[in-house]
Structure 1
Amino acid sequence: MKTTISEVHKYVDQEVTIGAWLANKRSSGKIAFLQLRDGTGFIQGVVVKAEVDEDVFTKAKSITQETSMFVTGTIRKDERSAFGYELAVANVEIIHESVDYPITPKEHGTEFLMDHRHLWLRSKRQHAVMKIRNEIIRATYEFFNSNGFTKVDPPILTGSAPEGTTELFATKYFDEDAYLSQSGQLYMEAAAMALGKVFSFGPTFRAEKSKTRRHLIEFWMIEPEMAFYQFEDNLKVQEEYVSFIVQAVLDNCSLELQTLGRDTTKLEKIVAPFPRISYDDAIKFLHDKGFTDIQWGDDFGAPHETAIAENYEMPVFITHYPTKIKPFYMQPAADRDDVVLCADLIAPEGYGEIIGGSERIHDNQLLQKRLEEHGLTSDAYKWYNELRQYGSVPHSGFGLGLERTVAWISGVDHVRETIPFPRLLNRLYP
C-alpha cells in the first residue's frame, strides 16, 4: 500500500510504502534511525539489523542526506515521538543518490542559507513555516467565502499608484508608463461597487530600500473591500478575520508550531474584540515612555509600534491618524478634519503592523480636492473618480500583509523565512 507520511495514522500495524528523502540519520551498531520526509511530514524509520536482509541494513547505514527512495515497512504507534508514529523498515529501494548535499546538520550562516533557499526549504523548520503559511491562506479563503465575499483579481500592471509613485517599480507598457502594483485597493473599490463584498489575494511590490526584518520587496496581500461598510464595521471584520486565522493555525498546525518552539499560550489569547488606542493617545503614551523624538504629525517607526504593542497581549488598533501622513483616499473624521477614519493593526511581540485599513472617501468633490492636493490630477485616476459619480456609497477596506502575519503566528524573527523565495534589497537569487 503506497501512502504519505501525513496519512500513516490510517495504517497502524500495516505494511506501507512511502516515497521519501533522507533528512538525517544516525545508527548505533545494530539499529539505524532514518529521519524521512516526503513533503507532507517527517517520520522516523527504524532499521533493525536482525529483522532485515543484510543488504538492506548495509544500504540503510550508507544512505546519504537527501537521497530519494521508496521505503517499505510497518507503521507503529510511537508515544515518544511528537508525530506519534514510526516506520519499522523492511526494505529500502534507492531512487537517486544525493552526493555532497550542501546544507548539513551543522550551523550555516544566513547568507549561505539564502543562496541555497531552493534547498533550505526542505528543512524541518522551513517546512513548518510553509505549512503554517498555507493554513493561513486556506483559512483566509474559508473566512471570506463563508461571509459572503467574492474573490476578485486586480491587475498587477497599473497606470497609477494608490499611495504615490516614490516606492513603485516603473516599467514600460508598450509606449506608455506602467507600474508594478503596490496595492489592488483602488480596483477592489470598483469591484465592491459591483459585487458588494470582495477580496483579493495576490503579489504586491514596494521599491523601498529597507533592510529591516519586517520588509520584503515582493510580498502578498489580502485586500477586502466592502460597500456600505463604515469605519466601525471595518474594524469588526478585521478582528474577526485575524482571530479566525489564528485559531485555524492552532487547530490544524499544532505539530508545526511545536517544531518552531512557538509559545501557543500567547496565540490562544487572540480572540476578538481587540483593544484600541487613538493616534493622539499613542503619542501621549510614547512621550510617557520616554520617546521624545516623535511629535504629533509624525508617522510611527518600528520602535514606537513595538512599545505600544508591549502594553497589550493581543493585536491593538491604532486609530485616527493625521490626515497629512495618510493616503488621499481616506475619509476624514466627522468631528475634525485633521485626522482620518483609519486604523493600523499592530501585532504583539514586536512584529509591527499587519493590517492597514480605512473608510474610503465617498464624496466626489472631496475626493477631487484630495487628488489635487496630492498632485494626482492625471487621466489615470479618471475611472477612480467616476466611482463616486454613479451611485456612490460609504465603503471601507483593509490590507493584510501575509508574510508579517506568518512571521507573527509562527514566531520566526525575519519575514525572509515566511515566503518561499524572498526578494530583498540585495537579493534576486535564487
Structure 2
Amino acid sequence: MPPIISLSQVSQFNDQEVQIRGWVRHRRSSGKIQFITLRDGSGEIQAVLSKSTLGPEQFESAAQLVQESSLSVTGRLRADARAPGGYELDVSQFNIFHIAETYPIQPKEHGVGFLMDHRHLWLRSSRQHAILKIRHEIVKACRDFFDDRDFVLIDTPIFTPNACEGTTTLFQTQYFEETAYLAQSGQLYGEAAAAAFGKVYCFGPTFRAEKSKTRRHLMEFWMVEPEVAFAELPDVMELAEAFLVTIVQRVLEKRQEELKVLERDVSKLEAIIPPFPRLTYQEAIECLQKCGSPIQHGGDFGAEDETMLSNEFQKPLIVHRYPSSIKAFYMEPDPQRPDLALCMDVLAPEGYGEIIGGGQRIHNYQVLVSRLKEHKLSEEAFRWYLDLRRYGSVPHAGFGMGIERAVAWICGLDHVRETIPFPRMLSRLYP
C-alpha cells in the first residue's frame, strides 16, 4: 500500500505513489479528464482523474463529488509549478467517504450574520484558514518566547471568588453554596506564582461581561500574562517590546503564504523593530488634543482616542504613567508623582489600539490595604493577596496581551470576530 501523507509533505514524495485524504474544494470537468482541488487542512492539491486510467464507471462516479465531499485518492505525485501547492496528483484510484449536500457557503456575498451562524462551516474557507493558522503561529511564538527565557507556565483558575478590577464586568455563577466569577485575568494568581518561581506566565481563556459591540471586544478571549519578581515598570516595557517584535518576526518568517491570502501589507509588519516610541500619559493627552480630541487630563482613552494615537506612529506606541484614579487598585504609585501609576499600555499601529496592558504592582502591605479601602474592596476577600506583601515582598511587574487583538492587528482584520474559531459576543452564543 502506498503511504498515507498530508499535503504538507508532498515535496518529500515527488514522483512516488501516495494516498491523500481530504475534502473537495471544487471540481471541474474537461471531457475525459476531471480536475479536483483537494484540501486536507495542511494544504491543497489538484488531483487529475483520467477516464482512460480509472475506467468509465469510476470516472462517472467522480461526477458526484460536489464541494466538501470527502474522499481518499491514490496516485503518483509530480511537480508542476502551475498547480496549487506546486504539485499535481495523477489519480489511479479513489474511495468516496461521503457525498456532501449542497454547501450553504458559496463564492458570493454573504452577510456577516449568515456567516457567523455558519461559523462551523466558514472555518473551512481559505481566508479563515489563513487567519487561524496565523493565530496558531502567534500562540506558539508566545510560548516559545517565555519558555526560552526560563519563565514557568502557571495555569491560573477560571473560577475566582473575587474580581481583580471590580465585579461590574464579570460573569457571575453559582459555585455550590458560594458566588464565583469567571476570571477576567490570571494576574493576581500570577503574582503569587512569581514570588515562588521568579518569572512566570499564564495563558488561558478570560471573560468580560462588558456590554460592548465594538470591533475590539469579545466576551471570551485568550490572554498571555507574564509576571516577574524584582521587576519594575521599565523592565516590563522592554519585555513587552521584545515580545511583540518576536511575534511579528515569527509570523513574517513562517506564515508568508497565509499573509498573501489575507492580502496583508507586510511592509507594515516589517517596520515593527525596536525601539518603540514612548509617551507619558500627559504627552499622549497633548498629542490627542492637537489631533482634535476633546479629551482632558484625567480622562481614560476610548477606542477613538487609541485609534487616533496609534495612527500617529508606524510602530507600537507605549503610553505610561496614567493617573492612578483611572487604573486598577494594585498599580504601584509613581514615587515622584503619587497621583500617577507606574503602568503602561501598548497601542498597536494602523489604528488597532491597545493590545497590551500592564505595569508595576504595589509591593508595600500598608499601601495595598489603603488602596483596597479606596476602591471599597473587601480586605478579607484579598487576605491571601495581602499575604504576598507580608512574606518576602519585592517589587514586581507584568502585563497581559489579548491574543485576539494581536491576531487582528497582525492579520490586518477589521473585527476580532474572525480571530477565534467560535467568537462569543454580546449577541452571539451560537454555534
Tell me, yes or no, if the aligned pair for 2:45 and 2:84 is still in contact at 8 Å. no
Where does 1:238-257 land on structure 2 (aligned, <5 Å)? 238-257=240-259
**Partner Cα separation in structure 2 for residue 262 and residue 185 of structure 1:** 33
**1:12 pairs with 2:14:** yes
Q: CA deviation at 1:86?
A: 2.8
**1:87 pairs with 2:89:** yes
Tell me, yes or no, if the aligned pair for 1:83 and 1:255 is still in contact at 8 Å. no
Of 266, 285, 288, the match for 1:264: 266
Residue 373 of structure 1 corresponds to 374
TM-score normalised to structure 1 length: 0.96
Q: What SS does structure 2 have at the residue aligned with 1:3?
A: coil
Tell me, yes or no, if the aligned pair for 2:156 and 2:186 is still in contact at 8 Å. yes
Tell me, yes or no, if the aligned pair for 1:82 and 1:255 is still in contact at 8 Å. no
Deviation per residue, 1:38-68 (Å, 9 max, x gap): 1222222233445543334323333111111
Residue 185 of structure 1 corresponds to 187
**Partner Cα separation in structure 1 for residue 65 and residue 306 of structure 2:** 50
Of 199, 202, 208, the match for 1:200: 202
Residue 276 of structure 1 corresponds to 278
| 4+ aligned runs moved over 4 Å, structure 1 | 48-52
One-letter code of the match for 2:29? S
**1:404 pairs with 2:414:** no
Deviation per residue, 1:330-373 (Å, 9 max, x gap): 11112111211111111111221110010111111111111100
Residue 55 of structure 2 corresponds to 53
Tell me, yes or no, if the aligned pair for 2:182 and 2:207 is still in contact at 8 Å. yes
Tell me, yes or no, if the aligned pair for 1:59 and 1:92 is still in contact at 8 Å. no
**Partner Cα separation in structure 2 for residue 30 and residue 349 of structure 1:** 51
Q: What SS does structure 1 have at the residue aligned with 2:347?
A: strand
**Partner Cα separation in structure 2 for residue 98 and residue 329 of structure 1:** 55
Q: CA deviation at 1:3?
A: 0.1
Residue 429 of structure 1 corresponds to 430
Deviation per residue, 1:347-400 (Å, 9 max, x gap): 111221110010111111111111100001241101001101111000000000
Could you list the runs of 5+ residues in structure 1 that have no partner in the other structure? none
Of 124, 127, 131, the match for 2:126: 124
Q: What SS does structure 1 have at the residue aligned with 2:382?
A: helix
Tell me, yes or no, if the aligned pair for 2:46 and 2:84 is still in contact at 8 Å. no
Residue 70 of structure 2 corresponds to 68
Residue 339 of structure 1 corresponds to 340
| Identity, % of aligned positions | 56
**1:157 pairs with 2:156:** no
Residue 302 of structure 1 corresponds to 303
Q: What SS does structure 1 have at the residue aligned with 2:381?
A: helix
Residue 364 of structure 2 corresponds to 363
Q: What SS does structure 2 have at the residue aligned with 1:33?
A: strand
Q: CA deviation at 1:218?
A: 0.3
Residue 350 of structure 2 corresponds to 349
**Partner Cα separation in structure 2 for residue 172 and residue 103 of structure 1:** 40
The farther-off stretch of 56-65 and 330-339 is: 56-65
Tell me, yes or no, if the aligned pair for 2:130 and 2:262 is still in contact at 8 Å. yes
Q: CA deviation at 1:24?
A: 1.9
**Partner Cα separation in structure 2 for residue 46 and residue 407 of structure 1:** 37
Deviation per residue, 1:180-218 (Å, 9 max, x gap): 000010000000000000000000000001111110000
**Partner Cα separation in structure 1 for residue 338 and residue 84 of structure 2:** 56
Deviation per residue, 1:291-311 (Å, 9 max, x gap): 12x111111111111111111
Tell me, yes or no, if the aligned pair for 2:224 and 2:401 is still in contact at 8 Å. yes
TM-score normalised to structure 2 length: 0.96
One-letter code of the match for 2:202? S
**Partner Cα separation in structure 2 for residue 7 and residue 78 of structure 1:** 15
**1:176 pairs with 2:178:** yes
Could you list the runs of 5+ residues in structure 2 that have no partner in the other structure? none
- In the alignment of these two chains, the number of paired residues is 429
Q: CA deviation at 1:77?
A: 2.3
Tell me, yes or no, if the aligned pair for 1:227 and 1:396 is still in contact at 8 Å. yes
One-letter code of the match for 2:390? Q
**Partner Cα separation in structure 2 for residue 83 and residue 107 of structure 1:** 27
Deviation per residue, 1:250-295 (Å, 9 max, x gap): 1111111111111111111112221111111111111111112x11
Q: CA deviation at 1:123?
A: 1.2
Q: What SS does structure 2 have at the residue aligned with 1:340?
A: coil
Q: What SS does structure 1 have at the residue aligned with 2:217?
A: coil
- Provide closer, same or farther for how the CA distance between residues 31 and 267 of structure 1 changes in structure 2, counting only shifts above 3 A: farther
The farther-off stretch of 194-203 and 254-263 is: 254-263
**Partner Cα separation in structure 2 for residue 51 and residue 427 of structure 1:** 50
**Partner Cα separation in structure 1 for residue 128 and residue 92 of structure 2:** 30
Of 116, 139, 153, the match for 1:137: 139
Residue 415 of structure 1 corresponds to 416
Q: CA deviation at 1:101?
A: 2.0
One-letter code of the match for 1:139? A
**Partner Cα separation in structure 2 for residue 361 and residue 21 of structure 1:** 55
Q: CA deviation at 1:82?
A: 6.0
Q: What SS does structure 2 have at the residue aligned with 1:380?
A: coil
Residue 220 of structure 2 corresponds to 218
